[in-house]
A and B are shown apart, each in its own frame.
Chain A
Amino acid sequence: MTELSGWGRYPWHPSDVLSPSSPPAVPPLMTSHTGLVARGNGRAYGDAAIGERVTLVTRRLDRIRAFDHATGRVRVEAGLLLADLLDVMVPKGFFPPVVPGTKFVTIGGMIASDVHGKNHHRDGGFGDHVESLTLALPDGGIAECSSAENSDLFRATIGGMGLTGTILEATFRLRPVETGWMRQQTIVASCLDEALEGLRASSDATYSVAWIDCLAKGPSLGRSLIYVAEHATLRDLDALRPGAKAFFPSRSGRLSIPLDLPPFALNRHSVAAFNEMYFRVGAMKAGYPFLVHWNPYFFPLDGIGDWNRIYGRRGFLQYQCVIPTAHAGPALSGLLDRISQRGLASFLAVLKQMGPSHGDLSFPMEGFTLALDLPVSEGVFPLLDDLDRIVVEAGGRLYLAKDARQSPSTFEAGYSGLPRFRDLRRAIGATGRISSRLSARLGI
């Protein structure tokens, strides 16, 4: 037994850990154990990747099996790290179709959580780009899944939190890029309405995201910096940084980045001061495009190793909800209002526009998503229950890959695809056999 937690270091649960060395080693484990779920690199924040009894770590399934230069199609094993794929593929002129906020996730985890990136409004989630996958089933069998073959299973596995089986391999297409640089532009929004409007107005941009100052109140409530970006072309590079190499190697790990925080105890004053500075420095750059390397652009926090420890031993919660477009304005301002009133220290929160939903347990839906970190404390749980009520009332839902505490009723209200997902679990014999702490908590 090992004590496991997610990236938020809350909660901890004991579990046996298995670490199969190859894809063919997985199916026998699916029948010899029960109460089991797969875990990639452990970057889900809460209890999604902790088995009720057994946790099957896929990190050793980390081979790239095939790559076609002509089409960008790549076939990889599920335990491959996105960071590893980027290091191999960016110098070849290819970029993953969707990347989340950290590159230290596995491809299997990206599919199981149907991760979204700053381009969700245009390109959908990572799952929308998966052409096929190989799944180890609860009965010890193996299924090839695509939109043509085992299509229900394919659909449910995308965003299915590992609850349909263990993903062994996946095939998807990378997009060609001319350079490893991003052409970024900053737009300043002085309040929430401006932020939402700014995101809507920039929906033609491939990537867009807003960093919100959660401590700003009153007329500044929701003040944000909106970052829009494109993969820089060779022409961009020539214009903005003549002579620079198109593909600059990422010094993996520690880049100097705008979020490099000293590890002193966080409190509302230090965070407020930081946010003030961050906002001003960002605003100074507003209005004209500049080039930034893909690594700090997409993965600013990855530059700080183990940044999850900043929140101390009690751990932290990430709260990420999505609100349908029609109710986004009032609901988000209600959420931000409560958060800023309580002054519970959070770094900058993230606001982002999302495109259509994928279905089943996949998180994204057309609307706006808000994500913020909160250190675990007595006071935080009632606050989040309050926020849940606003989200449910507005027809929104919470991201399972981030969740550690929502109630079954909040969950059921948000995910209309749940009955269908449960039926599928029963049909393939997954109910009770494949279960994580999250699925047990929420009754999936």
Chain B
Amino acid sequence: MNASRTLLLVGGTSDIGRATALCYAQAGWRVLLAARREDDAKRNADDIAVRTGAEVTVHRLDILETSRFQTFVDGLPQLPDTVVCVVGELGDQQRGQTDLSHATQILRTNFEGPALLLGAFAERFLERGSGTIVGVSSVAGDRGRGSNYLYGAAKAGFTAFLSGLRNRLAPAGLRVVTVKPGFVRTQMTAGMKLPPVLTAEAEEVGRRIFTAAENRKSDVIYVRPVWRPVMMIIDSIPERIFKRLRL
């Protein structure tokens, strides 16, 4: 029965995207990889196809070219059963504080693009009466911090968007899942010193996304459960103290 189901993975060159697509393909899904760098996405497509025997195709998409989203959706070989968007760019907070075009890019890549794209799929899913939407947001969106609030603000917007979309689609029986990975060892965090207990591997994120999307109970997940109490504590610090912390 799974054999006929199709995943669209947006962000097909990222480590989390690769790992997630592999999980779906292993479960027998057909996979469409959307990415800006097609050659790089083709490497992942070939790899997943050999490993699983699944059909994997690459579809060009630039998350900043929002005016092309409708054409992109129409141009897919079929409307997918599930869309997972893992697009994200940490960017350079310090640079973004003075370089407004860089700040704009961080905000658009992490919020505007993903939100508008998933919004477009939501309308099609409503028409069809089925579909699952998964957005990879971030714990950075739970509370703004001095070291990455451009990224955090965009992710906070994306989290709110997913929450609203879930609220709207739930009566129709459509699911929206918000994923907050916490630290993940990927290209994006290469070279950073990360606390092992709080840091997941990309494969772990992929498996969690797949199980959360397929298990009908999950709405908002932290990849490592330890993040839930950690973020509760961070959220509960009074602002007059929080503003003085170096975070």
B232: chain A residues within 8 A (beta carbon): none
Min Cβ gap B39→A in Å is 7
Q: Is the CB of A65 within 8 A of B187?
A: no
Given A19-B190, A88-B51 in contact, is the A63-B39 Cβ separation under 8 Å?
A: no
Min Cβ gap B41→A in Å is 11
**0/1 per residue, B101-113, Cβ < 8 Å to A?**
0000000000000
Q: Does B44 contact A (CB under 8 A)?
A: yes
Q: Is the CB of B40 within 8 A of A22?
A: yes
B68: chain A residues within 8 A (beta carbon): none
Q: Is the CB of A64 within 8 A of B46?
A: yes
Min Cβ gap A390→B in Å is 47
Given A19-B190, A21-B187 in contact, is the A64-B47 Cβ separation under 8 Å?
A: yes
Contact of A66 among B44, B46, B190 (CB under 8 A): B46
Q: Is the CB of A66 within 8 A of B50?
A: yes
A19: chain B residues within 8 A (beta carbon): 190
Q: Is the CB of A63 within 8 A of B190?
A: no
A24: chain B residues within 8 A (beta carbon): 39
Q: Is the CB of A65 within 8 A of B51?
A: no
Min Cβ gap A173→B in Å is 15
Q: In residues 10-62 of chain A, which contact B (Cβ within 8 Å)?
A: 19, 21-22, 24, 60
Q: Is the CB of A65 within 8 A of B46?
A: yes
In chain B, what residue has the closest Cβ to A68? B50
Cα distance, A282 to B14, chains bound together (Å): 49
Q: For the side of the interface on A, what is the size category?
A: 10 to 19
Q: In residues 84-118 of chain A, which contact B (Cβ within 8 Å)?
A: 88
Min Cβ gap B85→A in Å is 21
Q: Does A67 contact B (CB under 8 A)?
A: yes
Q: Does B43 contact A (CB under 8 A)?
A: yes
Cα distance, A64 to B51, chains bound together (Å): 8
Q: For the side of the interface on B, what is the size category?
A: 10 to 19
Cα distance, A66 to B40, chains bound together (Å): 15
**0/1 per residue, A181-220, Cβ < 8 Å to B?**
0000000000000000000000000000000000000000
Min Cβ gap B183→A in Å is 18
Cα distance, A88 to B190, chains bound together (Å): 27
A63: chain B residues within 8 A (beta carbon): 43-44, 46-47
Min Cβ gap B30→A in Å is 19
Cα distance, A63 to B47, chains bound together (Å): 5
Cα distance, A77 to B46, chains bound together (Å): 11
Q: Is the CB of B43 within 8 A of A22?
A: yes
Cα distance, A67 to B47, chains bound together (Å): 9
Cα distance, A290 to B187, chains bound together (Å): 46
A64: chain B residues within 8 A (beta carbon): 46-47, 50-51
**0/1 per residue, B176-189, Cβ < 8 Å to A?**
00000000000100
Cα distance, A63 to B51, chains bound together (Å): 10
Min Cβ gap B234→A in Å is 32
A88: chain B residues within 8 A (beta carbon): 50-51
B187: chain A residues within 8 A (beta carbon): 21, 60
A66: chain B residues within 8 A (beta carbon): 46, 50
Min Cβ gap B147→A in Å is 24
Cα distance, A63 to B22, chains bound together (Å): 12
In chain B, what residue has the closest Cβ to A88? B51
Cα distance, A21 to B15, chains bound together (Å): 11
B39: chain A residues within 8 A (beta carbon): 22, 24
B40: chain A residues within 8 A (beta carbon): 22
Cα distance, A77 to B47, chains bound together (Å): 10
Q: Is the CB of A67 within 8 A of B50?
A: yes
Cα distance, A145 to B111, chains bound together (Å): 46
Min Cβ gap A355→B in Å is 31
Q: Is the CB of B47 within 8 A of A65?
A: yes
Min Cβ gap B146→A in Å is 29
Cα distance, A88 to B40, chains bound together (Å): 21
Min Cβ gap B206→A in Å is 15
Min Cβ gap A60→B in Å is 8
Q: Is the CB of B43 within 8 A of A65?
A: yes
In chain A, what residue has the closest Cβ to B47? A63
A21: chain B residues within 8 A (beta carbon): 187
Residue among B39, B44, B50, B187 having the largest count of chain A Cβ atoms under 10 Å = B50
Cα distance, A257 to B207, chains bound together (Å): 30
Cα distance, A371 to B190, chains bound together (Å): 37
Cα distance, A403 to B50, chains bound together (Å): 36
B51: chain A residues within 8 A (beta carbon): 64, 88
In chain A, what residue has the closest Cβ to B187? A21
Cα distance, A88 to B22, chains bound together (Å): 13
B190: chain A residues within 8 A (beta carbon): 19
Min Cβ gap A91→B in Å is 10
B50: chain A residues within 8 A (beta carbon): 64-67, 74, 88
Min Cβ gap B57→A in Å is 15
**0/1 per residue, B38-58, Cβ < 8 Å to A?**
011001101100110000000
A22: chain B residues within 8 A (beta carbon): 39-40, 43
Cα distance, A66 to B47, chains bound together (Å): 7
B44: chain A residues within 8 A (beta carbon): 63
In chain B, what residue has the closest Cβ to A67? B50
Min Cβ gap A21→B in Å is 6
Cα distance, A64 to B56, chains bound together (Å): 14
Min Cβ gap A61→B in Å is 9
Q: In residues 145-181 of chain B, which contact A (Cβ within 8 Å)?
A: none
In chain A, what residue has the closest Cβ to B43? A63
Q: In residues 124-143 of chain A, which contact B (Cβ within 8 Å)?
A: none
Cα distance, A24 to B37, chains bound together (Å): 12
Cα distance, A163 to B190, chains bound together (Å): 27
Cα distance, A63 to B46, chains bound together (Å): 8
A74: chain B residues within 8 A (beta carbon): 50
Cα distance, A67 to B187, chains bound together (Å): 27
Q: Given A21-B187, A64-B46, A64-B51, 5 other A-B contacts at CB below 8 A?
A: A22-B40, A22-B43, A63-B47, A66-B46, A67-B50
Pick the 6 closest A-B CB pairs, nearest first: A63-B47, A64-B50, A67-B50, A63-B43, A65-B46, A64-B47
Which residue numbers of B lie inside 8 Å of A, CB to CB? Answer: 39-40, 43-44, 46-47, 50-51, 187, 190
Give me 22 A-to-B residue pairs in the complex whose CB atoms sit less than 8 angstroms apart, sorted by A's number.
Answer: A21-B187, A22-B39, A22-B40, A22-B43, A24-B39, A60-B187, A63-B43, A63-B44, A63-B46, A64-B46, A64-B47, A64-B50, A64-B51, A65-B43, A65-B46, A65-B50, A66-B46, A66-B50, A74-B50, A77-B43, A88-B50, A88-B51
